Amino acid sequence: MPFSTILFKRSLLNCQIVVIVSASLNKGLNFDELMPLHPAVKEFENMVADKERYRKFLQEWLRYSWRWAREEKYKLVFRIQASILHAIREKLDSMGFVEVLPPIIGPVTDPGIRGAKQVTFDFYGHEYKVMSSAILYKQYMAASLGKIYFVSPNVRLEPLDSIYTGRHLVEFFQVDLEMYNATYQDAMKVAEELFCYVVKYVKDVHGKELEEKLNRSLPDFKPPFPRYTYKDAHKILCTELNCKFEYGTEIPWECEKVLSIHHDTPIFVTEYPRGARGFYDREDPTRPGILLDFDMLYPEGFGEAISGAEREYEPAKVIQRMRETGEDPNKYRWYLEMLKELYPLKTAGFGIGVERLTRYICGLRAVWESRPYPKVAGIAPTP
């Protein structure tokens, strides 16, 4: 029996059948049938139902990761991951993007990360950070080369409850791209094209293995994917789909899931209200309070895939938004100076997590299966 199965016996019998919304509540949407959650997602949900047992499992899983990394299943996962990266580079290069080396450290990094702590260290008497995302540097290089991307390592000391999401790693990679003089709609188009290309590429190269070894069949996706503004998503969820949450707050995962099971493709949620996002998502000057940004959600319950936006470039606006995190803008001095000097630094872009994409494509339980030597919040020691 493979190591992974010994550690946590699949208990598919316990899987709850997802009937979250009845068909009668489904009038506003064009789907008669609900897309079921992927069995791996259901299995993950069952695992975390017993938090203590899940934690123990995860400790073992992380501590002895070299053991399962040698199993046939994971050998394939890692080979597919390489193909995913290959496909991303091939596609982006063909679209005129230039791959640029990402920064690893700097005096500041992305502060717009939900409750996660940054890694700080002493840089010759100054405090420096390990990149939690290279977002501030994307604009820097987009100003130079126009269309750029990083394959970028990020470290985020996530809150401890993040181990129950299946989507959070402390150390992960994202493909982070940025375009000069572009809008968030342009970025969305790139996102869906890129996603479709990667899925097709992996199917072409690994289709048979995927089905035989991972029991995963992927559909043929075609852009454009459905788009909901946050406002519409809020309305549909609260009135038609019976998943209530307060306007202005992030859409809770349970509600995102409800929305996504009504679709057999990824979906976009756009135009989040201001306050729920980092200072760099641009506020629509004609519609105060509305941000020109988007998230893409995977189908089958795999959750958030991509976050992107047009960037705020008015220095005064950026400073005001920085204060919303309680910080002294002086900390971001180089960035603010750059915004002033390169005014107007109009860019748009997005980031797509490589481990999450691998999880989706391979149909895995959680991101701790889609990366070698995984690290999650609060669990140590690990390789």
Partner 1 sequence: MLFSIVGLHLRLLGKLRLLTGAKEFIKDYPVAEIARRALKGRDAIYPFGTLMEYGTAVLGSTVTLPRYPRFPSLDTTIILLPPAFTPKRLDKMVDLLREPTFEDVNLECELGGFKVSMPIVAGTMGSTAIASKTSIPIAKACAKMGIIYGIGENVATVRGYSKRLTRGHPCFKERLMAYLTNIDKYGGVIIQQSVEDAYDELWNKVYSDKDVEPYLEEGKIGFEIKIGQGAKPGLGGIIKIPREQVERLKQKYLIEDTGKEKYVTRYSVPGTYTEEILRGMIRNMRTNYPRVRIWIKLGPFKDAMKVIKIAFEEGAHAVVIDGKEGGTAMAPCVAMQHLGYPTLVSLAFIRRARLLGIDNKLSLLPAGRLYDGSHVVKSLALGASGIYIGRPLVISALVKGEQGVINYLESVKVETQMLISALGKYDVHEVDPDDVASLDLNIARALEIKWAFELPQQDI
Instruction: By CB under 8 A, name the binding residues for partner 1.
Output: 113-118, 120, 126-127, 157-161, 246, 248-250, 273-276, 320-321, 323-328, 331, 377-378
For the CB of residue 324, give the shortest distance to partner 1 in the complex, in Å: 4
Nearer to partner 1, 39 or 252 (CB): 252
CB-CB contact of 345 with 338 (8 Å) = yes
For the CB of residue 323, give the shortest distance to partner 1 in the complex, in Å: 5
For the CB of residue 370, give the shortest distance to partner 1 in the complex, in Å: 22
Nearer to partner 1, 91 or 311 (CB): 311
Cα distance between residue 250 and residue 56, in whole Å: 30
Residue 235, C-beta contacts closer than 8 angstroms, at least 6 positions apart? none
Cα distance between residue 187 and residue 289, in whole Å: 21
For the CB of residue 308, give the shortest distance to partner 1 in the complex, in Å: 17
Cα distance between residue 302 and residue 16, in whole Å: 16
For the CB of residue 116, give the shortest distance to partner 1 in the complex, in Å: 6
For the CB of residue 279, give the shortest distance to partner 1 in the complex, in Å: 9
DSSP β-bridge partners for residue 127: 122
For the CB of residue 274, give the shortest distance to partner 1 in the complex, in Å: 6
DSSP string, 27-77: TTSS-SSPPPPPHHHHHHHHHHHSHHHHHHHHHHHHHTHHHHHTSHHHHHH
Sign of CA dihedral 268, 274, 277, 279: positive
Kindly list the strands in the beta sheet with 147-155, ordered across the sheet, starting from the edge strand earlier in the chain.
98-99, 147-155, 171-180, 347-353, 303-310, 293-298, 267-270, 227-229
Nearer to partner 1, 93 or 327 (CB): 327
Nearer to partner 1, 50 or 327 (CB): 327
Peptide bond into 224 cis (omega under 30): yes
For the CB of residue 287, give the shortest distance to partner 1 in the complex, in Å: 15
Nearer to partner 1, 88 or 376 (CB): 376
Nearer to partner 1, 38 or 321 (CB): 321
HEC per residue, 155-204? ECECCHHHHHCCCCCCEEEEEEEEEECCCHHHHHHHHHHHHHHHHHHHHH
Nearer to partner 1, 189 or 317 (CB): 317
Q: Which pair of structure tokens corresponds to residue 157?
A: 């000391």
Cα distance between residue 120 and residue 132, in whole Å: 11
Nearer to partner 1, 101 or 160 (CB): 160
